[in-house]
Amino acid sequence: MPTKKRNIYTRILIWRYKHISERQFVYLLSIIVGFLAGLGTTVLKYLTLFIQSTLEDGIIKNYHYSLYFIFPIIGVLLVYLIKRYLIKKEIGHGISTTLYSISKRSGIIERYKMFASLITAPITAGFGGSVGLQGPAVSTGAALGSNVAQLFHMNTKTRMLLIGCATAGAMSSMFKAPVAAIIFAIEIFSLDLVFASLVPLLLASVAAVITSYFFIGTDVLFGFELKDLWRVKDIAFYLLLGIGTGFASVYFSKMYFFITSFFNRFSNAYAKIGIAAVAIGLMLYLIPPLYGEGYGLINNLLNGNTAAALKDIPYDINFDNVWMVISMLLIIVVFKAIAMTTTFAAGGVGGIFIPTLFMGSALGNVFAKIINQFGFDVSESNFTLIGMTGLMAGVLHAPLTAIFLIAEITGGYDLFVPLMLVATISYGLTKYFVSNSIYTAELAKRGELITNDKDKNALMMMRIDKIIETNFVSLQPDMSLRMMLKEGVSKSNRNLFPVLDEKEQFLGIVLLDDVRPVMFDQKLYDTTKVSEFMKSAPDIIFYNDPMEKIMEKFKGSGAWNLPVIKDKKYIGFISKSKLLTAYRNKLIEVTTS
């Protein structure tokens, strides 16, 4: 930063410290972050809509249907080239990478993520990739929130709060649902629901939705007006829908993990991208409703217009034959999760939020159609709506977000009872079979998932490299007692010595207490080796061990110092006292504003 700009920046910081209290400044920053998140989400939506309408409505439908196969391949190749030659860094999935930044990087998010998803996500979805924009919107907003916090030197707790504000802002702007946005930020990011955090979330959410109204107007994603009230006699059918969406959520999650694992086996990046790109192109060619985000299908099903929802299907469908329509919708349900995950595998950038709504709407509509075929009379629109709730609650493990989002964006508050019923059943069933959501599974496996447990969060957010001590003098096993005293004991202020081989691999330890009885017996200086004093360490810490496991090793071994091994080589020791001090400081850092 040039000297003149640095001086101005310093003056601003000093003026802020003198004239604005910490709480007031956090409120101000939350409004700024909400505005920026809303603006970023608006740009995402505009760019994606422009690309998609230009390609699908302006070219595919006017020229040749085969472009449904070609455009998605072009899209993922463009994204790959942009990531490799322009951004030159991995973008990752929005919400997962944000959760990782909170748990392991104290809310520090790289600057390039403020624009990376803004470039790549519209290309992915606009060219037909079967993904949503909510994840990229959150990623962009979170990066903006983190960097605003860093710019003004806010502490870790405030930095995380502003990331939550940005997340709420992105959600509020995307769906024009400020209440559901706050619940989403709290539910997904495990934010503390206290007054100090609630007010900034409210301010950010309102700022973002106002920004969205200013640039986009009153248009909403789902043009639906509730016409049919729920009936008590339909409770049994809603129970079945909850079970159905629960198993569909399990299928969605398991398919995501399976396909991701399959493509991760490819060592050749070009082969991986090529196969995945051709696969997604083929799926879109055979099932065009999978193209892009799929809002058209959702809205048409909500408004009872099945023919319009399936108008792009290249097959002759007799819409008077309900079972033929049901079959086609089920095919769409089955392949949505496959198409979405394959898009990610091909290197596309997007989110899973909208695909769950897409799949849920189709499944709910199918349920209603099947029930009505057996002589009952249920509202297809209501089941379509509530099916979206069930899939979202199950796949995202966010039942409260699902209930309030669907109620808020559709005005379906009169359906609260069936919304709650279906969301609860779907979430409970999915949780039984899939313990962590797509967002959190990998983080949970590595022990890096933030929760509402402050003690565990403090441990998880600690970095092992910050507490390793390297001022221990190492010895070799064939070293004589004379050399050990000369090169080791005399040059160290520690009473512990690691013993290493010629490859710096850890063999054991020597305690000064064991050497002290003979250290003045000169007859043993040249006849006694280090190996005769060496003993095994009480336990060994591996560099990738989670902090919780490291704590358990100290507790189980009763040791005050334990060696740390990285890539089979010794790198230092961790002392219990330093570990506990670092833990106490981190706990204070993340629990005080």
Residue 500 per-residue DSSP state: E
Q: Find all residues with CB under 8 Å of 450, minimum gap 6, and list them.
A: 99, 102, 103, 189, 190, 457, 460, 461
As a whole number, mean pLDDT of residues 437-446 equals: 75
Residue 529 per-residue DSSP state: B
Question: Is 341 within 8 Å of 259 (Cβ atoms)?
Answer: yes
Return the pLDDT at 241. Answer: 96
User: 415 pLDDT exceeds 80?
Assistant: yes
Q: In terms of Cα–Cα distance, which of 373, 368, 410, 372 is closest to 392?
A: 410
Ranges 29-33, 345-349, 388-392, 449-453: which has the least confidence:
449-453
Three-class secondary structure of residue 506 per DSSP: strand
Return the pLDDT at 229. Answer: 80
- For residue 357 the two structure tokens come to 């709504």
DSSP labels, 345-405: HTT---BSHHHHHHHHHHHHHHHHHHHHHTT----HHHHHHHHHHHHHHHHHT-HHHHHHH
Return the pLDDT at 406. Answer: 85
H or E element, residue 458: helix 454-461
H or E element, residue 562: strand 561-566
Model confidence at 593, pLDDT cuts 50, 70, 90, reads very low
Three-class secondary structure of residue 106 per DSSP: coil
Burial letters for 33-71: b for 16+ Cβ neighbours within 10 Å, e otherwise? bbbbbbbbbbbbbebbbebbeebbeeebeeeeeebbbbb
Tell me the pLDDT tens digit for each residue of 274-308.
999 999 999 999 998 998 888 888 988 988 888 88
Output the furthest CA–CA distance in the chain (Å, rounded).
104
DSSP labels, 123-142: HHHHTT-S-BSHHHHHHHHH
Tell me the pLDDT tens digit for each residue of 137-158.
999 999 999 999 888 888 888 8
Question: Is 71 within 8 Å of 128 (Cβ atoms)?
Answer: yes
Return the pLDDT at 335. Answer: 95
Cβ neighbours of 262 (radius 10 Å): 15
**Count of alpha carbons within 13 angstroms of residue 326, beta-carbon side:** 13
H or E element, residue 169: helix 156-175
Return the pLDDT at 341. Answer: 93
Question: Is 542 within 8 Å of 565 (Cβ atoms)?
Answer: yes
Domains of the chain: residue spans and CATH:
3-216 (1.10.3080.10), 232-452 (1.10.3080.10), 456-591 (3.10.580.10)
Percent of the chain exceeding pLDDT 70 equals 92
At what angle are helices 416-433 and 399-410 packed, to 10 degrees? 150
As a whole number, mean pLDDT of residues 105-123 equals: 88
DSSP labels, 416-444: HHHHHHHHHHHHHHHHHH-SS-TTTHHHH
Amino acid at 8: I
Tell me the pLDDT tens digit for each residue of 509-538.
988 888 888 878 787 888 888 888 889 999
Indicate the average pLDDT of the chain.
Answer: 86
Cα–Cα distance between 33 and 452 in angstroms, integer?
Answer: 24
Amino acid at 335: F
As a whole number, mean pLDDT of residues 564-584 equals: 89
